[in-house]
Structure 1
Amino acid sequence: MPLPLYLLAMAVFAMGTSEFMLAGLLPDISSDLDVTVGTAATLTSAFAVGMAVGAPLVAALARHWPRRSSLLGFILTFAAAHAAGAVTTSFPVLLAIRVVAALANAGFLAVALTAAATLVSPDRKGRALAVLLSGTTVATIAGVPGGSLLGTVLGWQATFWAVAALCLPAALGILKAIPAGRVRQEATGGPALRTELAELARRPLILVMLLGALVNAATSASFTFLAPVVTDTAGLGERWISVVLVLFGAGSFAGVTIAGRLSDQRPGPVFAVGGSLLLIGWPTLAVLADEPVALFALVLVQGALSFTLGSTLITRVLYEAAKAPTMAGSYATAALNVGAAVGPLIAATTLHAGLGNLGPMWASGLLVAITLLIAFPFRTVVTAGPSA
């Protein structure tokens, strides 16, 4: 894999840390800003909404901008938003700052996904996507748990400052390694924006985007509310939250790695086996969450299954959107983040529905079941190889 791909993954690490770090900070933020945990969780959904809406809009605006300048602008805006978030004492202001950060993240990821696909041969999109998304999974292994621990010791604001600082070496790497040429020059004779947007009318593309969104909704639904499960349901101390997040991150890294190996040529077995096990896993976790050993093991497994299936579906989005070369990354980003926005909102409704802290896990199981039911009649589309 080319060096620029790994530098993009470094930037995705910083952004992924921010996207997922609230899973370990929600109790402190809700207490400090005098809102409920459910209300604090809307910070996650606001970020995801900004990502989902912003990805296609920003990608459309940036499709002819110099690629290096675009990526630098997005990551520096992202850093500035986190510095502002660290000093605010108002929840509405923090919510607005998260939307700004999400728009910057959306633009960066949309451009980066498109760039990643062009850095490798057409039949290796899945492998390139795995390298890029490894930044996110490493964030869940190191960045998010580290941020949770930092927040526990020094306050949640310290985690925001840390994310802002992480962006700076990534920006320097982009400045040094990404070519300064314009996308217009790289894509001379490419399709017009209207043609690329018209791809969204194709049912196979809509289908794989929907399925990717549903799987990510299931993942986000439970991941966002892991902290109270650890401290209340399992009866562990706050510092065990970081351990659980590390386990989920380790599983997600394994899942992305598996998807990178199999999603290009063997998406069918990945979807069939991974989807079935994921469906069983979420309810099992809900039943056994009060047993720490079972909680640790199942969080690891569910992280692996979630990212194996999710990454495979997002790879399918890139294949189905092959005729939209400058917008494909934004379609994948939008699909991921529609799920990330909807999942916590659905999960939050279960907290007071008699299910308590375990409600999000039951919601995750239901979302996976819906995914499999929708996919079954269209399995030939979902499991098609790269030539589809």
Structure 2
Amino acid sequence: MAKHKREAQLATTSVHGGHADRVPGASVVPPIIQSSTFHWATPDDGELLYSRFGNNPNQLQVGAKVAAIEGTEAGVALGSGMAAVAMTLLALTKAGDHIVAASGLYGATHALLGQELPRRGIETTFVDPDIGEWEKALLPETRLLYIEIPVNPTLRILDPRPIIELAKEKGVHVVCDATFSSPVNFRAADLGIDVVVQSATKYLGGHSDIIAGVVTGPSEVIDEVTKMSRLYGPSLDPNAAWLLDRGIRTLDVRLKRHNENAMAVAQFFESRSEVERVLYPGLESHPDHELAQEIMNGFGGVVSIVLKGGGEAADNFMEHLKLGMCAPSLGGVETLVSQPRYTSHASLTPDQRRVQGIPDGFVRLSIGIEAAEDLIADFEQALSG
């Protein structure tokens, strides 16, 4: 009787996934293949290898690794998270098509959907999380439904299950940006989401030293995304692909520390009179806490707060930080603090930000893996500064 092959756990796949079969004398760590092109004697040699095509060995290895972690058929690594989003949307739509998207999205994604794609004849309807709104927004031309879990930076958790069922009923794709959760905290494909996009700059890379993006999903979708990438050119540099592969090896242990630290920090801020509101899915006060417990394995490393005193209070808080660094981005081992009005949502008007729950005084904290006690001490003195 044939033995059933046991599926490896995520922590194991993060270390070994995507690597070539072991042969005597092979390096334990995959080498960096820093070459733009490769010898190709005849068409019988197989596919033409060219790093802009995304088939450099380092690019292929990390794409396969993320797909294995996510539990999807295939994956492709690209030059940034926005490249992953843009190439996916262009691969799945054409002029005359329609997209339905959640209203609360990363600022650049919102701008891509609302400003750039209409120039190409692709329209988007933005809707609130209520499933009835999604149903009403559907048109005969609708080709995909786009969501983020959690939403940046409000950390609202949208229930994807009714949206997935609606998509199946209508025969359209569901695309989910799972950057904030990572595959450690949210198993998108297991729930039935077709395509997952992530900024690998964040938790997957984990060290704030690369810009990268990944798309995972069915082979036929990844093939189309790869075609778009070869046309538009946002391939991932081999050295960055190698660094991404190295970062992913510690993904599981890093995320567990991020989760623990963020919970401790969120509880601290909830006890402070200077803070008007704390947004963290792990807190019982979060409007989506029960849903987060139901569909997520962890609550993530990002905590958002709204300070009393508005933008002036937020500026003062950030000016007094000594350990937390004032910088955009998230998901690195160090703690990064930013105000979305200056960074991720700077392209939106103050009124648009308020509608999305991002008033002046809103501060987003990407909690690193430092000692939680040291972080809390820093935040305490910054609040008092």
The verdict on a shared fold, with TM-score over 0.5 as the criterion, is no
Structure number having the greater strand percentage: 2
Structure number having the greater helix percentage: 1
TM-score of the pair, normalised by structure 1: 0.29
TM-score, L = length of structure 2:
0.29
Kindly name which structure, 1 or 2, has the bigger radius of gyration based on alpha carbons: 2
